[in-house]
Every structure is written in C-alpha cells, then in structure tokens.
Amino acid sequence: MTPRLPDAPEGTATVTWALDAGFARCTLVSLFSLLRTASCPVRAVFLCAGDLGDFPDRVRRIAAAFPGTEAVFLDPGPTVTDDRKHVSAATLLRLRLPEVIEGRVLYLDGDTLVRSDVAPLAFADLAGQPVGAAPDPAAVRSVASVRWHNLPWWRPGHMRFVRHLQSLGMRRPGTYFNAGVMVLDCARIRALGLDGAMDDAEAAGRYRLRDQDHLNVVFQDRATLVDPAWNAIWGNHRTAGPPLRRADVDRFAASRRDPRILHFTGAGKPWTAPPETLRVPQWAREWLDAEAALKRLETR
C-alpha cells in the first residue's frame, strides 16, 4: 500500500479533488478560484482516474503562479465504475481519502467555485467529529414540507425524498449533508474505525444517491454541520421561503446573498449550456468569468 501523504505544515490547508477527464476543465477553475482567494499556503492534492492529458501540467503552472502552493498527485488505486451518466466514477475515489492522507483535508467536488478564503473552513473546529459538511438544501426543504405543510402540489415529491432518507436509517433526516464540500479529519476517521466502512464502494453503489447517501450513513451522528454558505447549491436559491420555516430561511440567508463556495450540481453546468438556460444565470456567468480569468493567467 502506498504510504499516506503526511500532515501538511502547520497553517497549510490540504485541499483535494477527485476527478476523471470529464471533470478536468471545471476542476482547474475550482483550483484557480480557491488559490486566488486563499489567505494561507495550500497543498492541492488530486486523485485522478485515467488519462487526463495536460491536466497535471496545467495544475503545476497554476500552482506556480501562487507562492506557497504545492501540487500533489496521488495514485488512488483501481477506478470504481458507476453506470449513472451524471455521476463521475472518480467521485467515488473520495471514499479512499483516509487511506491516502494522514491528517485533515478539505475535499471539493470539481464543479465548485470558491468565492471566499477557505482557511476558516479548512481549519474549522469540528467539535470532535470526523467530518464537517453543509446541510443539503433539498433535504431541509423536504423535511420542512412534510413536517410543516400539507399542500398537495408540494407534499408527494418531498414525501418520497423523506422516505428515501428514512430508508437510509437517518434518525434526523434534516441533518443529511451534501458531500460535495467536506472537511475530513482522516486520523479521527481511522481512530473511530470508520475508514473501512467509508471505503466500501460496493455498498455506496447500492444507494440511490451513491456515495453521498453512503457517507451520510457512515457518518450519521458523526458530522458537524457547517454554514450552508460553504456549499451553496446554485446559491441555495430555493431556500428563501416556504416550505422552509423562518429560522431555516434565515440560516440559509448568507448562502443566498454571498455564497462562499458555489456548487453546480446536476446535469446542466455553466460549461455545458448557455447561462440563461440554467438554474441561476448569475452564478453560471460568474463561473464563466472565473474561467476567463484563468485563461488570462495561463497566457501571461
């Protein structure tokens, strides 16, 4: 087994992405957006599945433009396959992070855009828990709809999702988190004996939402929920009113107004479709602006 990547020097944030060729383009923008806002040195770690062409060279050139940045490429082992077109099999590689990294790591999906310094998240107090992640707004909406409303045009779809969460054994479905942005204390995960359960791609493949469901099962009651602004799904644009209660509307307010990390989930992405056809054109255009800035950096 390949030795684990040792802890980064104190004050250096270890940030990792898992990707295949299909996510190379967006991951470069995610990396660039993180580095241009970071207040601390960054060790950027990549778990790559398959041949990514010039991706490693581009990563090294981007890293060189930001003093204090180190780029590391780790061998993740055999690639896990997945039959869902919108799910990159490489995302399942994040299940192996405690095997390949010694200490704490901030994991980001490649379809993220960092808009704020990640140091407060990377070094956040997890209150003794092994994982920190933001609540999934779809879960919060569904739980609120079923619990607080009886409107026939809302309830059926939300009820199905709540039943799905209950089928996972979630005792508190409203704590279901989105796994696209996570702080993982890998040493703590191993100390709790959860690394083996986490790295079970076969189990993850049985769930409707694959490894995200799986991670919620493994870390049920073991995850600290962080500010939703750290993982704003298209700016959490559907959290501004009913079925959410006022307390939850307020809890998501910062993530709507000024998200720290945007997350472009779903099949439609800013790099695959015109912004005006997507969920929130404003945020899609911001991603395109970031890619344009990256291209200017690379051509200097």
pLDDT in tens, 154-163: 566 778 888 8
pLDDT category at 92 given cuts 50, 70, 90 is confident
227 CB contacts (<8 Å, ≥6 apart)?
134, 254, 255, 260
Task: List the chain domain ranges.
Answer: 13-135+176-240+257-298
243 in Cβ contact with 145 (< 8 Å)? yes
Distances (CA, A) of 297 to 29, 36, 45, 89: 11, 11, 21, 30
Per-residue model confidence (pLDDT) at position 86: 41
Quote the mean pLDDT of the chain.
92
230 in Cβ contact with 134 (< 8 Å)? yes
Claim: this prediction has a pTM higher than 0.85: yes
Indicate the CATH number for domain 13-135+176-240+257-298. 3.90.550.10
What digits encode the pLDDT tens for the residues 232-248?
Answer: 999 999 999 988 989 99
Compute the average pLDDT of residues 207-217. 93
Per-residue model confidence (pLDDT) at position 148: 58
Higher pLDDT, residue 31 or 152: 31
